[in-house]
Structure formats: structure tokens, C-alpha cells
Amino acid sequence: MNQIFLVLKREYLTRVKKKSFLLATILTPLVIPAIIFTIAYFATRDKDSRHDEIHVLDESGYFEGVFNVSGYDFTFVSGDLADQKAKFEDAGAFGLLYIPQLDLSDISVTSFTGFEFYSKTNPSFRTLESIDGAIERRIKDLKLQRSGLDADVVAGLQANVNLDTYNLTETGEAKESNSGLSYAVGYGMGFMIYMFIFVYGSQIMQSVLDEKTSR
């Protein structure tokens, strides 16, 4: 038992006295949030703050003046898709949006395919989401026109519900809670625990290997 205690003491002191242990203990809680923030930042920011140009090849003829995305100007072009894919970069455009012919004779159809976006570099998630949303809203408006329904009446049928959450104390008092924040904190702490286990587990494994080698 004493030998086990001596081994544990030696390993503990060896780990704690190392600079890597101190740096990991201090920097890990700072580095992980910084990495998460950086990933989120680059996932949502536009590639360029300038007004880049996006060419739109609209074979349906329904989307003129529909797109309004921050940082981009949309220019409608005509011709063959293969030719436009070869030309848009030479014309200084950031990307090419292709919109196929649309059959809106059956307004019950809810799935539309064939929309394509071409670029040399990846557009931001926000840009793609804005373009996708503009297309969906336009198709919805076109289907409303063909259905003969009043757009104002349909809009009035929409309902938004906000569910407030409260925690009851032992005295019966209701205090407003924040489930979203609790989830985010729990997820973040769980991730940090995982990283701590990973970092220190690798150090322990290295210590075991060193012990085996020194025998």
C-alpha cells in the first residue's frame, strides 16, 4: 500500500511541476471558448466586406429584384449554364446562382430542386441562408397568387407563441428561468470536461509509457 502511495505521489508531483500542466490548466479554459468563438465568427461572416457581384441565371423569369443580401449585388444574366459557369469569374463576379424552370401549376408541390450556386471560394452560411430564404419566400408568394387566396388573410392565420419558463422555489415563488442559457452552459461545461480528460489522460498515458521505458 505504501508503495502505491509513493508511486501516486511521485506521479502527481511530476505532473503538477511540469510547465505543460500549468499551461494547460490556465490556458485551456481560455483557449476553448476562443476557438468556439472563432469558428462561429468565420461561419457567419461574409468572405469580403466589399459589394461583390453574384450573377443570376434565372430560367424561370420569376426572381428579378428578389434578392437583397448584404455585401452582394445581384446581376441577372442570360445564356447557357455551362457558358455562364466559365464566364462569371472572368467577369469579376463572386459566384453564379442558377434558377431552373419552375412548374407552379400544382400548388400542392412543396419540394423544388435544381437550384445551384457556383463559386471559387465558400460563401458564408449567412449568405446562403439569405439566398435560400429569398427563393422560398418568392415561391410562396407565387403559389399564393395562383391559389387565389388573399395574402393578408393567409398572413393573419399565422401564429407566434412565446413560452415563458419559470422555476418554483421552495416557498412557491415563481422565478423566470432561461432554459436556453442553461443548455448552453451545460453543453459548454461538458465540452470543457471532455477536453480536460483528453489533455490530462494523454499526460497520464505518457507518464505510464515513461515508467515502462525506464524500467
pTM of the shown model: 0.60
Tell me the residue type at 75.
Answer: T
* Calpha distance 55→131 (Å, rounded): 13
pLDDT at 105: 87
CATH code of the domain made up of 52-156: 3.40.190.10
Q: pLDDT tens digits for the chain (215 residues)?
A: 666 676 667 666 666 667 766 676 777 777 777 887 887 776 666 544 557 899 999 999 999 999 998 889 999 999 999 999 999 988 989 999 999 999 988 888 889 999 999 998 888 888 899 999 999 999 999 999 888 888 788 888 888 887 777 777 777 777 776 667 777 778 878 877 877 777 767 766 766 666 667 66
How far are the Cα atoms of 3, 7, 33 from residue 215, in angstroms, in the given order? 16, 14, 41
Residue 89, C-alpha cell as written in the block: 469569374
Do the beta carbons of residue 56 and residue 77 sit within 8 Å? yes
Query: Distance between CA atoms of 193 and 127, rounded to whole angstroms?
Result: 34
Domain regions of the chain by residue span: 2-44+171-214, 52-156
pLDDT of residue 121: 85
What local confidence, expressed as pLDDT, does residue 1 receive? 60
Q: What is the pLDDT of residue 48?
A: 47
